Amino acid sequence: MTETPLPIADDDEEAPWLRDPQFGGMSPRSARLSWEAAQANRRRHEKLEREQADPREGILPAQSLDEFGLPGEGDDEAKTNQNGKAELDSAAAASFKMEGIEWLWPNRFAVGKLGLLAGLPDRGKGLITADMSARVSTGDLWPCDEGRALQGNVQILSAEDDIADTIVPRLTAAGADLGRGHIIRMVRQNDKKRQFSLITDLELLRQKVDEIGNVRMVLIDPMSAYLGVGKIDSYRTTDVRGALAQ
């Protein structure tokens, strides 16, 4: 049985992704997927702009502000949180001891800091992170004479790739010490399993990091898959920044 190839038309209206210069050099399938994702993102932003122009658009009717989880006017609870009165934590700059940055990969990724690896689909981000994980697990040299990786354990969360047929084979091909690669599969709670969430499960992640010990890198791929269902709007910069600040 012959597989039918993906139709590629010369008609500009039928294949606009082939005319878009930002997707040049990509395979027709990748260009089409990237173009469709960009169009969906554009429509989403247009909807958000309409809602901002008309606050009534997209708002569901409610009997009271309580249904939105918002305090009413004059409500004393607006000044407190669930555990009591909220206070700001501050200290004088003179009370802090200056420290140098400890680099995992010199001048690229620092220990204890958030690092982002971004790019279009099918451009090799997964292979890069597998190679980084392997170098950290073995304390190998970084490319381009950029020093040596701090050897340690790697914590991996991957929502898109299968563990047995993709993640472990990639790590093996990259020469990783598989004993130092720890893969989080699910969260067990009340005899049930669910996906890890950056919004509700960060403390569990900290506990696991402490349990494993000497964790040099926590890999989350992709970050958007772990923002929780209905918890964060990944198209809003303020929502994403708030989640990352935790």
Looking at residue 52, its pLDDT comes to 63
In sequence order, the β-bridge partners of residue 105 are 109
45 and 140 both lie in a single domain: no
- Residue 59 domain-assigned (yes or no): no
Whether 123 and 238 map to the same domain: the answer is yes
Same structural domain, 139 and 28: no
- Read off the pLDDT of residues 138-156 as tens digits, 9 standing for 90 and up: 999 999 999 999 999 999 9
Domain that holds residue 34: 16-53
In a domain, 236, yes or no: yes
Please state, in angstroms and as integers, the Cα–Cα distance from residue 67 to each residue in 64, 70, 72, following that order.
6, 8, 11
Asked if the structure places residue 235 within a domain, the reply is yes
Asked if residue 161 belongs to a domain, the reply is yes
Same domain? 119 vs 214: yes
Domain CATH for 239: 3.40.50
- Identify whether residues 140 and 218 lie together within a single domain: yes
Q: How many CB atoms lie within 10 A of CB 187?
A: 15
Q: What is the pLDDT of residues 73-126, one digit of tens each?
A: 444 544 445 557 889 999 999 999 999 999 999 999 999 888 988 888 888 898
Does residue 11 sit within a domain? no
Same domain (yes/no): 216, 147:
yes
Shared-domain flag, residues 27 and 140: no
Among the listed residues 42, 102, 79, 52, the one whose alpha carbon sits nearest the alpha carbon of residue 238: 52
* Assigned domain for 203 exists: yes
Domain count along the chain: 2
Structure tokens at 220: 């989350």
Whether 89 maps to a domain, the answer reads no
pLDDT in tens, 4-13: 444 444 444 4
Quote the pTM value. 0.60
Could you tell me the CA-to-CA distances from 175 to 142, 149, 159, 218, 227 in Å, in that order? 13, 14, 22, 18, 31
Whether residue 74 is contained in a domain is answered as no
